[in-house]
A and B are shown apart, each in its own frame.
Chain A
Amino acid sequence: MSLTRWALKKSPWVYHVALSPCNNCDIEILDLLTPRFDVERFGIKLVGSPRHADALLVSGSVNRHVLPRFIELYKQTAKPCVVFGIGSCALSMTMFRDSYNTVGPLDKVVKEIDPNAIIAYVPGCPPKPEAMILGVVKALQTL
């Protein structure tokens, strides 16, 4: 295991990216920081800049308007990083599959930017905060 990957496993800092979600996953992500779940005790911290992040928490199906911004943002993130698709929209676009404004599911978009990207999914609409914690732990164990 390389040093950078080993370092990634400890206290991952996450950055939250909203790619046209319905806000529900985003609220549940914020919920993780509040007293009931309090992920900061595991060293998981929400940071304000992608340059500080080890993982991106992406919610929503990608639409045309935010796609260029997401590409820019992914390029700014320090590598290696893990991309978490939070919720069913990021996973399979669910009911927004037929919309004229969405460009594709998250993995297709990310693989186009970086073929070696590490992508993990937490399904659910919205996923429960417990499920998100489990998803992050499981993804980090596979590194």
Chain B
Amino acid sequence: MKKTIVPLGPFHPLLEEAEYFKLIVEGEKVVDIDMRVGYMHRGIEELSTQKTWDQSTFVVERICGICSTSHPMAYVLAVEDLCGCEVPDRAKYIRSIICELERIHSHLLWVGLAGHFIGYDTVFMWGWKYREPVLDICEKLTGNRNHYAMMKPGGVRRDLNNDDFAWVHKEMDKVIKSTEMLVGAVLDDPVLHARTKGIGVLSKKDAIGYGTLGPTVRASGIPDDIRTDDPYNAYDRVDWKVITWEGGDVFAKAAVRLLEIIESAKIVKQCMDDMPDGPIDANIKNMPPGEGIGHAEAPRGEVFHYVRGDGGNSAVRHKVRAPSFMNIPSFKATCVGHTISDVALITAAVDPCYCCTERMAVVERATDKLVMSGRELEECSRKATENLKKEYGSPTKVEKTVQKILSDF
């Protein structure tokens, strides 16, 4: 059969960094995939060496808007490793709370986008609606909806007010309740089962081979989590468990993320209950020459930072490795053999922030002629869900839940 190339990206207007995927297809089946990253290069590592140790936390915060606490978290751990200082207990608990709030809103965002991709815009609106209260909590505790600027080498930048915790407890209960509703509606829906189960399977061997991280590897049944493997913050002092799921398909990845939201909410609640009093900053006075490493569990996987100092006011070398860098190459294992309508979902499943399909186009390799626009490709994905809906009969579980909410309202 004639081979055709489907370029995805690099510019997708909805959100997130631009990546470029080249799908080589035979008919509707993907036989090979090639990818280019690096469109959003801003030279952060080099910029960081121009700033002081303290200023660099703000630079690394702007590596990614959704992981805006994980990057500073790993960076301050690296700096603390370099200067060998001990962080006060209260700062550790505050750090855990902010990191987990970020994980909750990031996972809810992903659930919404995944729903949008398969044509379930209801899930998109739900995910983002229930994400708003989390952002409200972040705004109340830190002063901003995103980019919290809480991390600082040696502690945290500002203290939390213990009087706010009662309100946060109440809001977290609401988040847990709405997530449980989402879990019930999304994970039991027969159409979503048919659309996600057995799609984009990442086997245990491939998950280890490609070095995938975070929910991507946990969905393949491997309990890999920096929060338990090398505990930082207060994660070893609270009761929670690492969520894993067997299968490695899109469904498993969705399940891991949804269940992690509930675990994260539990961590936040326990941290607020156990919050000790005391100082929040170790007041680092001087930086010795040397090297330091730090790693933290971002919503997408392990973030790794390395710094080297010469005793001066700024880092001489700063190296960052983000989780998507490891997760994106696994598309080579997951996308091959599936139809084009599934590829958008599979690439979205590792949460590389791939979101827009409008920039996709199908091009005949021989003539470079445009055969199919991105819009039509998205339609293709939506149609597959529509057909399944017809097959399984209406109303589906999601629709039933909508009707129930409307009748309660």
Tell whether A and B belong to one assembly. yes
Query: Does A26 have its Cβ within 8 Å of any Cβ on chain B?
Result: yes
- Chain B, residues 10-53, CB within 8 Å of chain A (1/0): the string is 11111111100000000000000000001111111011001100
Chain B: interface residue total (CB-CB under 8 A): 43
- Say yes or no: B11 contacts A23, CB within 8 Å: no
Question: Among A29-37, A78-86, A107-115, which stretch is in contact with chain B?
Answer: A29-37
Query: Does A22 have its Cβ within 8 Å of any Cβ on chain B?
Result: yes
Write out the residue numbers on chain A whose beta carbons fall within 8 Å of the beta carbon of B112: 34
Write out the residue numbers on chain A whose beta carbons fall within 8 Å of the beta carbon of B62: 22, 24, 95
Distance in angstroms between the alpha carbons of A25 and B15 in the assembled complex: 9
Question: Among A3-11, A61-69, A132-140, which stretch is in contact with chain B?
Answer: A61-69
Q: Which of A22, A48, A95 contacts B13 (CB 8 A)?
A: A48
Min CB gap A39→B, angstroms? 13
Min CB gap B180→A, angstroms? 19
- Say yes or no: A48 contacts B109, CB within 8 Å: no
- Say yes or no: B46 contacts A22, CB within 8 Å: no
- Say yes or no: B47 contacts A24, CB within 8 Å: no
Write out the residue numbers on chain A whose beta carbons fall within 8 Å of the beta carbon of B64: 22-23
Write out the residue numbers on chain A whose beta carbons fall within 8 Å of the beta carbon of B109: 27
Query: Nearest CB to that of A72 among chain B residues?
Result: B11
Min CB gap A46→B, angstroms? 8
Query: Does B68 have its Cβ within 8 Å of any Cβ on chain A?
Result: yes
- Say yes or no: B42 contacts A99, CB within 8 Å: yes
Distance in angstroms between the alpha carbons of A126 and B353 in the assembled complex: 18
Distance in angstroms between the alpha carbons of A24 and B146 in the assembled complex: 7
- Say yes or no: B146 contacts A20, CB within 8 Å: no
Query: Nearest CB to that of B43 among chain A residues?
Result: A99
Query: Nearest CB to that of A65 among chain B residues?
Result: B39
- Say yes or no: A65 contacts B38, CB within 8 Å: yes
- Say yes or no: B47 contacts A23, CB within 8 Å: no
Min CB gap B379→A, angstroms? 11
Query: Nearest CB to that of A129 among chain B residues?
Result: B145
**A27-B65, A48-B375 are known contacts. Are A20 and B50 too (CB-CB below 8 A)?**
no
- Say yes or no: A18 contacts B42, CB within 8 Å: no
Write out the residue numbers on chain A whose beta carbons fall within 8 Å of the beta carbon of B124: 34
**A26-B16, A95-B47, A101-B42 are known contacts. Are A34 and B125 too (CB-CB below 8 A)?**
yes
Query: Which of B17, B42, B68, B374 gathers most chain A CB within 10 Å?
Result: B42
Min CB gap A33→B, angstroms? 8
Query: Nearest CB to that of B44 among chain A residues?
Result: A99
Distance in angstroms between the alpha carbons of A73 and B146 in the assembled complex: 29
Q: Which of B39, B65, B374 contacts A22 (CB 8 A)?
A: B65
Min CB gap B346→A, angstroms? 21
Query: Does B222 have its Cβ within 8 Å of any Cβ on chain A?
Result: no
Query: Does A13 have its Cβ within 8 Å of any Cβ on chain B?
Result: no
- Say yes or no: B145 contacts A128, CB within 8 Å: yes
22 contacts between A and B (CB under 8 A): A18-B40, A20-B42, A22-B65, A23-B15, A23-B65, A23-B353, A25-B65, A30-B15, A30-B128, A31-B128, A35-B125, A35-B128, A46-B14, A63-B42, A66-B39, A96-B42, A99-B42, A99-B43, A102-B42, A126-B65, A126-B146, A128-B145
Chain A residues proximal to chain B, CB less than 8 Å: 15-18, 20-31, 34-36, 46, 48-49, 61, 63, 65-66, 69, 73, 95-96, 98-102, 125-126, 128
Besides A28-B145, A65-B38, A95-B58, 10 other A-B contacts (C-beta < 8 A): A16-B13, A20-B39, A20-B40, A21-B40, A27-B109, A36-B128, A48-B358, A63-B42, A96-B43, A126-B147
Task: Give the 9 A-B CB pairs with smallest separation, nearest first.
Answer: A24-B65, A34-B128, A48-B358, A23-B65, A26-B15, A99-B43, A35-B129, A22-B62, A22-B65
